[in-house]
Chain A
Amino acid sequence: NAGVTQTPKFQVLKTGQSMTLQCAQDMNHNSMYWYRQDPGMGLRLIYYSASEGTTDKGEVPNGYNVSRLNKREFSLRLESAAPSQTSVYFCASSPHGHPVPLFGEGSRLTVL
């Protein structure tokens, strides 16, 4: 089915380990996003990419890096995971100029 696909769905890390969350969309959307969702905090934007080749910081970028590999793929990397990064991560995409993102199913990350 068309949409946004994230991998892995679940991951447990130890403090200091690194990992990459992968995201791909097949809707030919220009813009892609990474959010994190924590209880009582709502969805907070980590990074976004308005188009292939560009990335910008969102509200909570510290501790993360991103790569817009091509129009379809947008990855999120944690170089040295911390317990504060335990969260549910959502990738999303939207057409250019359309302020309503479509979300992937989410990735649950636990950092011990």
Chain B
Amino acid sequence: RKEVEQDPGPFNVPEGATVAFNCTYSNSASQSFFWYRQDCRKEPKLLMSVYSSGNEDGRFTAQLNRASQYISLLIRDSKLSDSATYLCVVNPPGSSASKIIFGSGTRLSIRP
């Protein structure tokens, strides 16, 4: 089993729809979690952190389920500009950026 797994997609949804995707991780002792966004042929950029209590930023909600070892990202009222690849990032015990593990990404395409 990969340490961090994501459904590669693509998820193809109409503008205005709600879309959600998950990311599973194998190390139950992992300490922190993040979502990055990567536009086509661009660098990954931090989208949001994922806290145990959940985290909401506008139309984006990130949640953590420790019991089932997954994090999720929900996008409401999706916009064309949300089209991108979303990378799940897991930080195993040790809290060092050198140890973080990136998922392969979930590709999201919003259609008009």
Contacts and interface: CB of A to CB of B under 8 A. Distances in A.
Interface of A: 31, 33, 40-45, 48, 50, 56, 58, 90, 92, 94, 97-106
Interface of B: 4, 8, 32, 34, 41-46, 49, 87, 89, 91, 95-100, 102-105
B92 to A, nearest CB: 10
B43 A43 contact: no
Interface residues of B, dominant DSSP:
mixed
B107 to A, nearest CB: 11
Contacts of B44: 43, 90, 103
Given A31-B97, A99-B91, A101-B97, A42 B103 contact: yes
Contacts, number: 56
A42 B45 contact: no
Contacts of B99: 99
A21 B105 CA distance: 25
Contacts of B96: 50, 97, 99
A53 to B, nearest CB: 16
Nearest to B104: A42
A92 B45 CA distance: 11
A84 B44 CA distance: 22
Contacts of A31: 97-98
Contacts of A104: 43
Closest 10 CB pairs of A and B: A103-B43, A43-B102, A42-B104, A48-B98, A94-B97, A99-B97, A42-B102, A99-B91, A101-B97, A105-B43
